[in-house]
Structure 1
């Protein structure tokens, strides 16, 4: 049983993760910022923790994370609020969470990032270009720490029910993947500490999620 602290738990991946962690016997504390989100998180089996990445400081967030085994950062502005909100949540929010985990003595940190080739070859806005740049810098920030980190880069996210079948690798072609399957991959990573200090790209595929993640474990 793992004690998991989820940043961005009220998002679609975060909610699926909270449910799956509960189903597999893990304890989840779920950071949320809107009052109406607490009841849903409780119904999913998580313990809601009120707090905002734009208001907490390092020590405050560290106290909320205390006694966790692993932190999962799945927060994202989702394009809302423009460049500044992306910078605040996906950028500074990630840096805050990493610093807080370190202060709390938590070594294991999982980051949900973005597929590098997302929407390449198509017109994208300056806001999206900024989003991708911030995501890459967040990856760099985490990877340069001495933590036991994993960066998960899912392809284009779908809201369809999970299939349980994915393709996972260090570098794979761009594609789509359901949010449920992303959450399942996170659970498998949490349960397999040998998957460590690695960047994983994830799309739909023909391998069971657990098998696909296990192949990436360090011997």
Structure 2
């Protein structure tokens, strides 16, 4: 497969890119900062410098033309204010969806967050509330498009080593999940077209990643999930 990862220098994106490149996929990582290009090249990923906060959908469509799938893994990141939650976590995701439509690319996997799809809790600070609102708006926009989308909402993220076992359901995620395991799940989702149209909540759990994704696909279709 040929895959574009938006937010290519992010912690989940780097892990995902390395997994895909290691098995022989062609991976393009969209980055804002040219200084990150060498890191991606070292991972076996082709970097493309493109600021999703400032560019047009036509330009992004040119960047992603001819690929099999796009993954939105960009984020404003820790320390950013509410305004950038809107411009990155919402608007950049919308821009990528619009570009995919223009470029004729159907498969779009969204890395969302726990709590998206519901109002932020009353005790949430302004920045977290803005983040949840931005992710919810991005998810809703994507789900309204004529794309083969999957929305993944991980629980609280950790940098512990991956376990290879998760819980992947339609129910609200609680607890934690490692970034390693999120990346593994994203690979399995890309390999499983039958997960199209699903909103999946991810946390640590008892099921091997491939089984968890296959079961999610079966629950939707009543047929065994497609495997690579």
Q: TM-score range by the shorter chain?
A: over 0.9
Q: Deviations over 1:52-82 (max 9, x none)?
A: 1112101001000000100000111124331
**8 Å contact from structure 1 (residues 79, 86) kept in 2:** no
User: For residues 152 and 37 of structure 2, what CA distance do their matches in structure 1 show?
Assistant: 26
Alignment pair present for 1:158 and 2:158: yes
User: For residues 76 and 173 of structure 1, what CA distance do their matches in structure 2 show?
Assistant: 20
Cα distance 1:102–1:215, how it changes in 2: closer, same or farther (>3 A)?
same
User: For residues 173 and 72 of structure 2, what CA distance do their matches in structure 1 show?
Assistant: 24
- 5+ residue gaps in structure 1? none
Deviation at 1:136, TM superposition (A): 0.8
Alignment correspondent of 2:82: 83
TM-score scaled by length of structure 1? 0.95
Cα distance 1:67–1:173, how it changes in 2: closer, same or farther (>3 A)?
closer
TM-score scaled by length of structure 2? 0.91
Alignment correspondent of 1:29: 28
Q: What pairs with 1:202-213 in structure 2 (closer than 5 Å)? A: 202-213=202-213
User: For residues 64 and 173 of structure 2, what CA distance do their matches in structure 1 show?
Assistant: 35
Alignment correspondent of 1:133: 133
Deviation at 1:124, TM superposition (A): 2.6
Aligned length: 217
User: For residues 173 and 99 of structure 2, what CA distance do their matches in structure 1 show?
Assistant: 34
Alignment correspondent of 1:191: 191
Instruction: Report the RMSD for the aligned CA atoms in angstroms.
Output: 1.6
- 5+ residue gaps in structure 2? 224-228
**8 Å contact from structure 1 (residues 8, 75) kept in 2:** yes
Cα distance 1:78–1:122, how it changes in 2: closer, same or farther (>3 A)?
farther
